[in-house]
């Protein structure tokens, strides 16, 4: 009985210390429940709030949460794993979470025998009247992307991003494809992580998608997501934008999407059947 009272007292003191400060620092490790191995690049955050991050290569995350969000829950999402939603108090008491793998049902798409037509989708670099966007102080989990219209069944085989310059020696990001609901990005639909690392400092960043067998027959959303925190105020990434277009961004994992009246130059090589 005494041991139980002591345990309750310890928990009470811990929660009191959380509420005493303006924010609490959460940390944890996410683990594959099937293999026991750490899970890298899991999205961790509070849904619809600008509070989130991505686990590192060791499956670890650190997250600062302000007092106003202490009654919220942390959502953990990862391609190929069941999403979990846990109260913030959980991470005050424990530092490990096991995620269960789930079966992904990939719909069969029948490609016609006829030869397809090569097309570009998205925002190619304009010949004139374009602008640049400076990206600074980038959080892990920050995303920026565009909507893409398709008329017929289409195979996506290359991703392209045009940058003016990058002050970083290396960039690591994830390419995400989403379906749409109420004209906003909804569920991520690629069946595996598409991780890109590049040392390109200016010009065109291209990534071959042929091995991922990405076929679309409805309008979709494509984005790039930073997998690392780029928090150097003396450095920036400048991307090209198309005046009169639209882009969508979110500050970090699980937060809401914001519209920008500038079409960032993300475009795709594709074959339309």
CATH number at residue 48: 2.60.40.1120
The pLDDT score that the predictor gives to residue 92 is 81
Residues 143 and 240 in one domain: yes
Residues lower than pLDDT 70 in the chain: 1-22, 103-114
CA atoms of 211 and 47, how far apart (whole Å): 32
The pLDDT score that the predictor gives to residue 205 is 96
Residues 262 and 186 in one domain: yes
The pLDDT score that the predictor gives to residue 5 is 38
Q: Is the dihedral of CA 63, 68, 70, 72 positive or negative?
A: negative
Please give the residue range of the domain that contains residue 64: 2-99
Residues 70 and 161 in one domain: no
- The first and second tokens of residue 61, run together, are 């995350």
Residues 242 and 162 in one domain: yes
Is residue 108, in this structure, part of any structural domain at all?
no
Cα angle 87-89-95, degrees, rounded to a multiple of 5: 100
Cα angle 14-16-17, degrees, rounded to a multiple of 5: 65
The pLDDT score that the predictor gives to residue 10 is 38
Q: How many distinct structural domains can be found in the chain?
A: 2
Residues 152 and 267 in one domain: yes
CA atoms of 155 and 178, how far apart (whole Å): 15
């Amino acid at each position: 009985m005494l041991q139980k009272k002591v345990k309750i007292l310890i928990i009470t003191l811990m929660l009191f210390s959380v509420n005493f400060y303006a924010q609490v620092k959460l940390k944890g490790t996410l683990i594959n429940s099937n293999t026991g191995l750490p899970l890298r690049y899991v999205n961790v955050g509070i849904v619809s709030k600008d509070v989130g991050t991505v686990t590192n290569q060791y499956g670890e995350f650190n997250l600062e949460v302000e007092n106003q969000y202490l009654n919220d829950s942390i959502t953990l999402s990862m391609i190929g794993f069941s999403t979990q939603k846990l109260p913030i108090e959980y991470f005050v008491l424990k530092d490990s979470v096991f995620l269960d793998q789930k079966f992904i049902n990939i719909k069969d798409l029948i490609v016609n025998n006829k030869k397809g037509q090569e097309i570009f989708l998205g925002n190619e670099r304009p010949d004139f009247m374009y602008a640049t966007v400076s990206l600074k102080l980038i959080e892990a989990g920050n995303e920026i992307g565009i909507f893409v219209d398709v008329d017929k069944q289409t195979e996506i085989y290359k991703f392209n991003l045009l940058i003016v310059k990058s002050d970083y020696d290396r960039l690591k990001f994830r390419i995400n494809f989403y379906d749409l609901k109420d004209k906003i990005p909804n569920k991520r639909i690629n069946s595996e992580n598409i991780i890109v690392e590049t040392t390109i400092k200016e010009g065109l960043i291209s990534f071959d998608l042929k091995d991922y067998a990405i076929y679309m027959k409805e309008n979709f959303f494509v984005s790039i997501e930073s997998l690392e925190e780029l928090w150097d105020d003396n450095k920036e990434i400048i991307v090209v934008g198309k005046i009169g277009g639209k882009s969508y961004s979110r500050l970090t994992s699980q937060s809401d999407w914001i519209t920008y009246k500038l079409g960032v130059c993300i475009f795709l090589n594709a074959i339309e059947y």
